[in-house]
Structure 1
Amino acid sequence: RLLRWREAKSKDSEEAAEAAVEAKREKLAKVQKDIGVLKAFYKDTCSQWIDIARRNIGHVDWAPEISVDVQVCKYTKDISTFEVDAARFKVQFKGNIVDLGSKFTPRQLTDVFYPQSGGRTVFKFPANRQLRINGCVTLELLAVPDCFDSNGKPCLIVMKDGNTTDLTVGRYAGLEAYLCNSIGPAPFSAKGDSGSLIFDGEGRMVGIFHSGMPKGGSNHVTYTTPAWWAIEQLKLKYPHAGFDRIAF
């Protein structure tokens, strides 16, 4: 019996070792594939962009003076427009899309957007990780969100993809402010994230980040200019502007 037990244990160990080796092989294959993609990207970059004269992708079309306490709403006006070179973007244009990346798993993001079970569907993780930005949260919905937290109180879960802090998730707290990150201890925003779009789980524009309230070296609260108001300002300059196009 002791011999059989040892044989069974040895067999289990061998199977576990083989499974571990196979997992590492799969991981190595994925890494090698990623390296191939990066090499191709590097080659394309060197051939297409090494000449600095070819790096021009467009020009600033409108950049009004930054102003605060604008009109009755007293919002911060810090916007500008950039006209891209059609020849460089027309073929590849997909519209306004945010790449959710790999910082969070689909389950992590999905769980954050459903603090209350049985609530309406507000987020579906896209298979290609590219969330399309479409529409805008209105002034009325900002005042009374149509989603609820675990305590049954109206709330709006939002995301931001910033230059410094990457993709973060927070909660709209009113007054165009957003509390710190809902996943982990990282802040919702930091210096260098200014201008980042804040959006909800349905891809609706919520606001444009302009400042934060520091706490312990990072922004504990983030402040934004509401997207609905920023769009109104842009349409004063460009009456026929469209923000949901998927074709150039």
Structure 2
Amino acid sequence: MIRKHLERHIRLIEGQDNSAANMKRNQAQGEMQKAEKAMEELSEFHKYVSTQWATPESRLLGHVILSPPIGFGFGSEGYTHDWALVEIDTSKVNANNFDGNAIDLGTHISCKDSALSMNLHCTTPHPFRCPNDHLLRIKGTISDGEMRKPSGRDQTHEPCIMVIKRGITTGLAVGRANNILSFVRNPDYFDDDTDDNAKTSQEWAILPRNFKSGAFSEKGDSGSIIVDGRGRAGGLLTGGSAGLTLSTDITYAMPIDSLLKRMQELGVHSPCIL
């Protein structure tokens, strides 16, 4: 479709010999070359996928090696723990061209708009630079201490950390992680569905970016990693509390420090999540 559009554009200025037409022609021809190169790369990729990933068995990237039961009020911190560890089949992922874990920021939002959405208060800008390839690399972690005493501010000058996640339901979303850990009761995980067996846990709370942005997460987004503008992992999304209004809508997450600590206790010392 892009190629046909460019060809039609070139035909429209065919025979014209002036600076404006020449500039448009050169631009269109340059875009045509880029499109042809992209088509060649896509064709090679399609050939590779068709031959190397044709069967369901060939598309298995790894297997679960550790999946502890869901825990509420876990450990001295009292957090919810809901996670699993997957070992990747190294024969399926080429370490030479694996660029690390990243969140795809997509292209439907410009880098300028992405930066603006991450900075709600002009006097305390949150560190964020949109990568040229729109892939926000995940590196480092947000400590429990910083979660409790964030240096950033939101539009009402309340302490917060601006965070990003990409979920299977809501896609890319920006939110405000506040400095108050929420206490959550979890009756829905038990068969009788009553409060009698409910367990209480602490959770890292994330609010919508503002009242117009929509909920930070919805059902199906659980397990998404939540990072700040630097790409530092803050936690794994565990659930939410849909409010009657966006101002009361809250997403809950398990802090990353607690997760890594638990992994070390279970003998996992170098998980590749960062």
Shorter-chain TM range is 0.7 to 0.9
CA contact (8 A) 1:169 1:182 kept: no
- Conserved? CA contact 1:134–1:203, under 8 Å: yes
Which residue of 2 is the match for residue 57 of structure 1?
61
Match of 2:162 in 1: 157
Q: Deviations over 1:148-198 (max 9, x none)?
A: 234443221000011111110010123211112449533211111110000
- CA distance 1:116–1:52, change in 2 (3 Å): closer
Alignment of 1:85-104 (within 5 A): 85-89=89-93, 90-104=95-109
**Which stretch of structure 1 is more off in the superposition, 196-205 or 56-65?**
56-65
Residue 172 of structure 2 aligns to a residue in which SS? strand
Structure 2 counterpart SS, 1:207: strand
TM-fit CA distance, 1:237: 2.0
2: distance between equivalents of 1:49 and 1:86? 15
* TM-score, normalising length: structure 2: 0.72
Distance 1:112 1:70 in 2: 34
Alignment of 1:117-156 (within 5 A): 117-119=122-124, 122-156=127-161
Q: Which residue of 1 aligns with 2:214?
A: 186
Contact 1:112 1:182 in 2 (8 A): no
User: In the TM superposition, what are the counterparts of 1:1-248 in structure 2 within 5 Å?
Assistant: 29=32, 37-89=41-93, 90-119=95-124, 122-173=127-178, 174-175=180-181, 176-182=204-210, 184-215=212-243, 220-241=249-270, 243=272
Q: Is the 8 A contact 2:163 2:175 kept in 1?
A: yes
CA distance in 2 between partners of 1:119 and 1:181 (Å): 16
RMSD value over aligned CA atoms?
Answer: 3.3
How far, CA to CA, are the matches of 1:34 and 1:191 in structure 2?
36
Deviations 1:206-247, CA, capped at 9 Å, x for gaps: 1110111123699921011111111111121235315576xx
Q: Distance in 2 between matches of 1:211 and 1:145?
A: 22
C-alpha deviation, 1:58, in angstroms: 1.6
The size of the alignment, in residue pairs, is: 230
Aligned residues of 1:135 and 1:244 also touching (Cα < 8 A): no
Structure 2, gaps ≥5 residues long: 1-20, 182-203
Q: Which runs of 5+ in 1 are unaligned?
A: 1-17
Q: Post-superposition, which runs of at least 4 consecutive aligned residues in structure 1 deviate over 6 A?
A: 30-33
Q: How far did residue 112 of structure 1 move? A: 2.1
1:99 to partner: Cα distance: 1.7
TM-score by structure 1 length?
A: 0.78
